[in-house]
Structure 1
Amino acid sequence: MEKVKLGIIGFGTIGFQHAKALTSGKVPNCTLVAIADIDEKKRESARNLYGESLAVFSTAEELIASTLVEAIHICVPHYLHPVYGIAGLKNGKHIMVEKPAGVYTKQVQELNEEARKHPELVFGVMFNQRTNPLYQKVRELVTSGELGEITRTNWIITNWFRAQSYYDQSPWRATWKGEGGGVLLNQNPHNLDLFQWICGMPSRIRSQVYYGKHRDIEVEDDVYAIFEYPNGATGCYITTIADAPGTNRLEICGDRGKIVVENDSIVFHRLRESCSAFNARFIGGIGQPECWKIEIPTKGTYTSHCGILQNFCDAILHGTSLMVPGEEGIKGLALSNAIHLSSWQEGNWVSLPIDADLYYDLLQHKIRNSKK
């Protein structure tokens, strides 16, 4: 079987997980040929695990330049995702970037622009939740028109509990300089990607964000955001790392009912008659359309990271369409940047696309004034 020769940049927690999956044969169309890490202890760990079958480099640049490697999986801190992505593309390598695609949209725009110069190369982002049949089915219900025009979205995603010890493990984590954000950049990229993938991009956002409210960190750990969509629909997004037990409940209301995603199940509250049609004909004062509660089944298996890598390699080998095209990585990031930007401007509305230069300048101010 033909296989893609892959190199991993960054042999930390996520890099190790991917290496373990690849060397265990969980992605049959991919073979791990190289790892790069600036930490000698991590390089030594890689050598001990994989021996001479694996090339080990001390810098990303060495791996990117290596003729051993056809494709690169970038598993380093967020700020470096676009840096090594651009370098890899310029060196003729296919690119898979861990989430998020970057910290601020300005740098991800540069990554996307470089990718457009190399249409022969495959560029993907590791949004593994798109392989979940649950969210695939919800997207199908929305995009097919079964729900009707969206009128309201709500996602309470507060089951990301993290103790202080989590932040104390790594000096770069939960800092403006090291990570560029908190719960929005660390835990929520998957949710924000799914939110826009299913419901589309809002036209503007306003927010109330709390920084270091629950933990000794300088970045956000409690977020409330309001979305407004081009058709006038509204949305609410709530997240934190402090709730135990937390909640994961997505509601999407439309002209023909409401979809509720919770506890790994989909319930469609399906209206027999659309709200708009009922409103036009009903003269009884108080009343509402007849509603059927339907449990929606799903098919398929959640393949997570391995599924995304399998698809990435299929795209390289056979031209298969990507589940997560790399240029889409900017969309969820734009949502988190807009939420930050609104909070930095006294909760005022922020239109999308955001002012990328303004966001960058304000972020640099945060970095310069960091106490961490």
Structure 2
Amino acid sequence: MDKVRIGIVGLGNMGTGHAQYLIEGQVEGAILTAVSDIGEERLALARQRWGDGVRVYASALEMYRSGEIDGVLLCTPHYDHPRQAIEAFECGLHVLVEKPAGVYTMQVREMNEAAARSGKVYGIMYNQRANPLYAKLKELVSSGELGEIRRTNWIITDWYRPQAYYNSGGWRATWAGEGGGVLINQDPHQLDLWQWTTGLMPVRMRAFCSFGKHRDIEVENDVTTYVEYENGATGVFVTSTYECPGTNRYEISADRGKIVIEDDKMTFWRLRQAESEFNRTNTQAFAQPECWKFEIPISAGGTRHKDITQNWTNAIRLGTPLLAPGEEGIRGLMLSNAMLLSTWMDDWVKLPIDEPLFYEKLQERIAASSLSAKGAV
């Protein structure tokens, strides 16, 4: 295949941004040939901007069946991703979906199964996996440089959003419109990176979500979660959208030291001797292993959305491995679903979660949503 012909579904901020770098030829081996949106104003603007070189469709399915595209980039609201992806796979198209993969894991599991049946290339827009900070962290963990992980701790509270942000759209911060708050809207990258860099998924968790804390909204905007891993390690994840100034600090403590990512820097406190070995052989009551502190050099760049689109295009044309396989989108979503379910049930939740139970509880909140009351869904 000389060029992968790409279609985009949804011409909001993200869809328009993806379209622009494709139009400018910034992705080698890819060309934007079609777009679709349910809004006539957006389609008219697309015609004005890109002319006859890009076909416009009011229906995504019509674009899928047009023969104009080989793959589709989905930039639509969260709830729509699985349905639109399944339709694309059934039409023989490759799929790249914006994050999050969906709102609930039962829905995303169906999308993953459709992808497997299709044999097409299926990616998700986890562009932070290309961030050199997190790529280096994953490399260090995978190589055994840190030894066995003992604790993870991520405080990500710099998602400050004033009330005016939530007031900017009636669908924002509603169960019917978005399906959640900070966990589904702001945190998908961190929830993905939390499990991707460590290679660990919790076996159970206890979460405490606050809904509409200091804001007039329906959904969660403050979360504190404690998790336990199979190897005995523990973890904490804290996030919010009302703290100012906020914090973004990711810490991993392990047998051979500690790594902290903060302020776009990675600091490594490296033990000269593994703690487990030192503890086994040491005879002095207040001794500690020798520790070296230094900053890990990190290369620049790598967080652009077009890097994931390039990787997906290369996978289609050249068989290059995907950095962010679409099937892995369910993992971060499983974490956020579990946090909500633990709060709703006021109890511990085991992972994998009870997916039908989560769906049932979510539907109760959708039915009571202000957006549902307005007849908008």
Q: Write the letter of the residue equivalent to 1:92.
A: G
Aligned position for 2:275 = 275
Map 1:22-101 → 2, pairs under 5 A:
22-101=22-101
Map 1:224-235 → 2, pairs under 5 A:
224-235=224-235
Q: Write the letter of the residue equivalent to 1:33.
A: T
Q: How many Å separate the matches in 1 of 2:206 and 2:304?
A: 32
Q: Write the letter of the residue equivalent to 2:159.
A: W
Aligned 8 A contact 2:174 2:370 in 1: no
Map 1:162-173 → 2, pairs under 5 A:
162-173=161-172
Aligned position for 1:242 = 242
| Partner deviation per Cα, 1:304-359 (whole Å, 9 max, x = no partner) | 2000000000000011100001100100000000000000011x111111011000
| CA drift at 1:46 | 0.7
What secondary structure sits across from 1:315 in the alignment? helix
Q: Write the letter of the residue equivalent to 1:132.
A: N
Q: Write the letter of the residue equivalent to 2:189.
A: H
| CA drift at 1:300 | 5.3
| CA drift at 1:301 | 2.8
Q: How many Å separate the matches in 1 of 2:197 and 2:308?
A: 18
With structure 1 as the length reference, what TM-score do the two structures score? 0.98
Q: How many Å separate the matches in 2 of 1:303 and 1:332?
A: 19
What secondary structure sits across from 1:146 in the alignment? coil
| CA drift at 1:280 | 1.1
Q: How many Å separate the matches in 2 of 1:118 and 1:35?
A: 22
Q: Write the letter of the residue equivalent to 2:291.
A: C
Report which stretch shifted further, 193-202 or 292-301.
292-301
Q: How many Å separate the matches in 2 of 1:63 and 1:244?
A: 44
What secondary structure sits across from 1:269 in the alignment? strand
Q: Write the letter of the residue equivalent to 1:358.
A: L
Q: How many Å separate the matches in 2 of 1:217 and 1:361?
A: 21
| Partner deviation per Cα, 1:180-228 (whole Å, 9 max, x = no partner) | 0000000100000000101221111111110001221100000100111
Aligned position for 1:362 = 361
Report which stretch shifted further, 277-286 or 295-304.
295-304
| CA drift at 1:233 | 0.3
Q: Write the letter of the residue equivalent to 1:304.
A: R
Q: How many Å separate the matches in 1 of 2:86 and 2:103?
A: 15
Kindly indicate whether residue 341 of structure 2 is the aligned counterpart of residue 341 of structure 1: yes
Aligned position for 1:210 = 210
Q: Write the letter of the residue equivalent to 2:142.
A: T
Q: Write the letter of the residue equivalent to 2:230.
A: P
Map 1:126-141 → 2, pairs under 5 A:
126-141=125-140
| Partner deviation per Cα, 1:277-303 (whole Å, 9 max, x = no partner) | 111122221221111002111235314
List alignment gaps of at least 5 residues for structure 2. 372-377
| Partner deviation per Cα, 1:247-289 (whole Å, 9 max, x = no partner) | 1100000000000001111111000111111111222212211
Aligned position for 2:158 = 159
| CA drift at 1:28 | 2.4
Q: How many Å separate the matches in 2 of 1:64 and 1:169?
A: 32
| CA drift at 1:132 | 0.5
Percent of residue pairs identical: 52
Kindly indicate whether residue 328 of structure 2 is the aligned counterpart of residue 328 of structure 1: yes
Aligned position for 1:296 = 296
Aligned 8 A contact 2:191 2:332 in 1: yes
| Partner deviation per Cα, 1:100-144 (whole Å, 9 max, x = no partner) | 00000000000011111122x100000000111110000111111
Aligned position for 1:254 = 254
What secondary structure sits across from 2:20 in the alignment? helix
Report how many residues are paired: 370
Aligned 8 A contact 2:34 2:57 in 1: yes
Q: How many Å separate the matches in 2 of 1:55 and 1:308?
A: 24
Kindly indicate whether residue 124 of structure 2 is the aligned counterpart of residue 107 of structure 1: no
Q: Write the letter of the residue equivalent to 1:321.
A: P
Aligned 8 A contact 2:129 2:303 in 1: no
Q: Write the letter of the residue equivalent to 2:221.
A: D
What secondary structure sits across from 2:201 in the alignment? coil
Q: How many Å separate the matches in 1 of 2:293 and 2:175?
A: 45
Q: How many Å separate the matches in 1 of 2:9 and 2:140?
A: 38
Q: How many Å separate the matches in 2 of 1:97 and 1:203?
A: 27
Q: How many Å separate the matches in 2 of 1:28 and 1:170?
A: 36
| Partner deviation per Cα, 1:64-112 (whole Å, 9 max, x = no partner) | 2110011000000000000000000000000000000000000000001
Q: How many Å separate the matches in 2 of 1:23 and 1:225?
A: 42
Q: How many Å separate the matches in 2 of 1:108 and 1:64?
A: 20
Question: What is the RMSD computed on CA atoms of the aligned residues?
Answer: 1.1
Aligned 8 A contact 2:100 2:184 in 1: yes
List alignment gaps of at least 5 residues for structure 1. none
With structure 2 as the length reference, what TM-score do the two structures score? 0.96
What secondary structure sits across from 2:103 in the alignment? coil
